[in-house]
Chains A and B, each alone.
Chain A
Amino acid sequence: MNPELIEKVTRLVVEKLQAQETSDVNGQKSSAAVKFWRHTSSPGTQPSRMSEEVIEAGKQDTDGLIKIKSYQNSNAFKITPTDKASHDKTESYSGKTGIDNPADPVELEALKSKTPARIGVGRAGSRPKTDTWLKFRFDHAAAVDAVYGDVNDELINRLGLFKVNTMVNEKEVYIRRPDYGRKLSEEAKKIILAKCQKGPAVQIILSDGLSSSAIEENAEDVYLSLQQSLKSLGLDMGTPFYIEKGRVAVMDEVGELLKPKVVVLLIGERPGLVSAESLSAYLCYEPRKGTIEADRMVISNIHKGGIPPAEAGAYLGTVIQKVIKYEASGVSLVKKEG
């Protein structure tokens, strides 16, 4: 391609993006940069929320080659003051397909509605369309943000948690040294021992892990629902707390310190390009130094477009009950269950 054309196209894209910035609906910029996908709810309940506004900078003289969609979520639903601002972020990739003249639009839509994967996006020659490509870059950026972000103290306080650290002091180290993320700092151990009830049936821990957005968006609903569920089942749950920059196996150190029957660790998953806010609940029966991975278990994909967080919390209660009943988790639980 000739460099001048590339430059011209780039300028056009940038101009259109800027035009959009100013003409954004209500002039209000939405904060969230992550899309959700509902594959658990029945089809057809949620129309596509991907903003369809096409910015028509200048005339159609580009032959409609460059149409830039807004990737921000336009807030079409009224948010009531009590609602968390994040409640209305639901959208899917389906919506207008990128294929120009589909042979069977109904069937194509049906296929697209079955997966959040980027299918039916069309192409420009052998490349993705500009729109698809920008969206990909956007999702990638959201994933990076999720990894490098920090969880807001306000949330931690609201849930009545206290915060401790691992041996990691900064995110770069967190990424390069997973082993540090599995160990608590000396200070953390002291605080935990001082503040926590010893030997509870269930010890709940939260940690940002690989996605701070997962905690910010979804931990509260899982946590509150799990709390209720444990209470209904009559299981005592000690003193929950938050570990910054933790890895899954950090639960082993907590197990050593507090000797709970079961540890439940709500931790941010490595973000993907479909959701950067997915949360996992890792469980283990009596985790201790040297616990093998096979004895842990995980309920993953907890987010607004996956397993609904509140439902996950209610379900976790029954799983914990089972773990306690069989005195085993992971592969050992499966074996004991027979």
Chain B
Amino acid sequence: MLKRYDAQKENIISAGIDIGTSTTKLVISRFSLMNMAGGTHMPRIEIIEKEVLYRSPIYRTPLLTASSIDIQAVERLVREEYITAGIEPADIKTGAVIITGETATKHNAEEMVHSLSDHAGDFLVATAGPDLEGIIAAKGSGAYELSKRTGKTVANIDIGGGTANAAVYRSGRLCGTCTLHIGGRLIEFSDGKIISISPPVQQILRLWGADLERGDSRNHPIIGKLTDYMAEVIGRMLRKDLHREDLPLLLGHDPNWTEEIDYIMFSGGISECLYHFENAESSPAQYDDIGKMLAQSLRNCRELAAFKWVEPDETVRATVLGAGTQTTEISGATIHAEGHELPIRNLPVYQIRFDNNLEKGLHQITEAVKKAVEIYDPQQEGQNFALYLTALPYLGFRDIQELSSVLLKSLQAKPMPEQPLVVVLESDHAKVLGQTIKVQETKQSIVCIDQIKVEHGDYIDIGHLLQTNVVPVVTKTLTFHR
């Protein structure tokens, strides 16, 4: 064994907050970062360990009305949980707030997320979107790990109150996602009677010519048929064989993976009804809905029995653990980032593909910056964006100089050219590019980072420069591209 000199280490705290249709929960974790290259090599900083320090109880999501979240109550809850966990908001360097399921459609959801990421920590990211939800849950449940370890194709189906979010992984590679309007809260009861039926379910009932109304008994036989049907739809979705009449339950795009699924894993609140991992006392929230019946239907469903079932590592906490521990990436260690510009939040990404041809890429830059302004800053208010340069050819020093001067020139198309120039590179060139830009234009403020994978249209958050000279980056993929 070679001795590791000068291993630079550091710990950072990450928070994950999941505000779901039915429940809200929080986790605090600690990431250990370490230089995995020998002390005299070029540094390579990696997250080598993630330790969950604190898991909150599972709270019922506070709502003001059926269509609005009680922002103050959520904030209070988060504040109190921080105190119990012994954490100051300022300690938190990364993490994600995620609004999931039906909650994301509440009219003040966006306001909620922004107010939380302003108050809950210096660097906390807001995310939403059903594809991302499925992805995060699959990482928190252990499905992603399982696929990586076994090389198998694993589908994670996270079923909460409002939606079932499936994400399919093979060998740790994302194959596709799909979301259905299937969840425990689609029909709610009170005192043994139905008090609400969600619109997609109503549509299905109409298709069936069945009538089920508020006030009907919770023992109405059609309800069992409904949950059985939901389980079958999940089975068909996994086989990419949804029927026409199933479509009212489809939220967004069709299943978009091409692989055959080997293993299935359930997470989310419904999974808790299947596996009972949680300590009953730690979860003050109680539900009066079709959740338990749905779980029973999943168990009995023939379509689903054909797959190999694997128990998840986490049930109802999969999403919050995914949000708290799986959303942060670490940039390359040789970068150029001006500390006073950080953190930067919600920066849209504009990709410029070089197709391994420098000339071609350089030609596109000015036009790309104009386009980015049109798309992301149509009112010319100064919404900044990141340029993501991909498929660069090999860049010699003179190429870097050329790239730098073209980038600087292109900034004139921005309403506020003096804004920090944020460049994300796929390949390891950030330090020399940043340095060169600085030499060519001393006054230009620059954040130039590399070895991060993002996509056109993503939003990224770039955290404070850490002691190990890297920045944490969280990518918010709002749309899922194959």
Residues of A that sit less than 8 Å from B by CB: 40-42, 45-46, 77-78, 80, 82-84, 87-88, 90, 104, 106-107, 110, 220-221, 224-225, 228-229, 231-232, 297-300, 304, 307-315, 317, 330-331, 334, 337
| Distance to closest chain A CB from B414 (angstroms) | 25
| Distance to closest chain A CB from B361 (angstroms) | 12
11 A-B residue pairs with Cβ-Cβ distance under 8 Å, sorted by A, are A45-B427, A83-B358, A87-B394, A88-B394, A106-B171, A107-B151, A225-B435, A300-B41, A308-B395, A311-B431, A314-B334
Checking B171, B357, B396 against A220 with a beta-carbon cut-off of 8 angstroms, the contacting residue is B396
Checking B171, B391, B430, B438 against A45 with a beta-carbon cut-off of 8 angstroms, the contacting residue is B391
Q: Specify the main secondary structure of chain B where it touches its partner.
A: loop
Contact B397 A313 (CB under 8 A): yes
Residues in B whose Cβ lies below 8 Å from that of A334: 5-6, 39
Chain A CB within 8 A of B432 CB: yes
Contact B6 A228 (CB under 8 A): no
Chain A CB within 8 A of B356 CB: yes
Name the residue of chain A whose CB is nearest to the CB of B151.
A107
Checking A80, A307, A331 against B5 with a beta-carbon cut-off of 8 angstroms, the contacting residue is A331
| Distance to closest chain B CB from A40 (angstroms) | 5
Expressed in whole angstroms, the Cα–Cα distance for A224 and B394 within the complex equals 16
Residues in A whose Cβ lies below 8 Å from that of B435: 225, 228-229, 232, 314, 317
Contact B394 A304 (CB under 8 A): yes
Residues in A whose Cβ lies below 8 Å from that of B397: 220-221, 224-225, 228, 309-310, 313
Chain A CB within 8 A of B429 CB: yes
Residues in A whose Cβ lies below 8 Å from that of B373: none
Residues in B whose Cβ lies below 8 Å from that of A297: 40
Contact A224 B426 (CB under 8 A): no
Contact A42 B453 (CB under 8 A): yes
Closest 6 CB pairs of A and B: A314-B432, A224-B397, A314-B431, A41-B427, A334-B5, A297-B40
Contact A77 B42 (CB under 8 A): no
Expressed in whole angstroms, the Cα–Cα distance for A337 and B356 within the complex equals 41
Expressed in whole angstroms, the Cα–Cα distance for A24 and B39 within the complex equals 46
The A-contacting residues of B in range 90-147, CB under 8 angstroms, are none
Chain A CB within 8 A of B68 CB: no
Expressed in whole angstroms, the Cα–Cα distance for A15 and B398 within the complex equals 43
* Interface flags, B137-171, vs A, CB<8A=1, else 0: 00000000000000100000000000000000011
Residues in A whose Cβ lies below 8 Å from that of B390: 45
Expressed in whole angstroms, the Cα–Cα distance for A312 and B431 within the complex equals 9
Known A-B contacts A42-B451, A299-B40; the reply to A224 vs B428 at CB < 8 A is no
Expressed in whole angstroms, the Cα–Cα distance for A90 and B394 within the complex equals 8
Contact B391 A308 (CB under 8 A): no
Expressed in whole angstroms, the Cα–Cα distance for A75 and B267 within the complex equals 51
Expressed in whole angstroms, the Cα–Cα distance for A87 and B357 within the complex equals 10
| Distance to closest chain A CB from B90 (angstroms) | 27
Contact B391 A312 (CB under 8 A): no
Contact B41 A308 (CB under 8 A): no
Expressed in whole angstroms, the Cα–Cα distance for A74 and B359 within the complex equals 20
Expressed in whole angstroms, the Cα–Cα distance for A298 and B5 within the complex equals 13
Known A-B contacts A40-B427, A314-B435; the reply to A107 vs B171 at CB < 8 A is yes
Chain A CB within 8 A of B439 CB: yes
Chain A CB within 8 A of B436 CB: yes
Chain A CB within 8 A of B400 CB: yes
Residues in A whose Cβ lies below 8 Å from that of B438: 232
* Interface flags, B34-49, vs A, CB<8A=1, else 0: 0000011110000000
| Distance to closest chain A CB from B458 (angstroms) | 15
Chain A CB within 8 A of B382 CB: no
| Distance to closest chain B CB from A122 (angstroms) | 20
Name the residue of chain A whose CB is nearest to the CB of B44.
A40
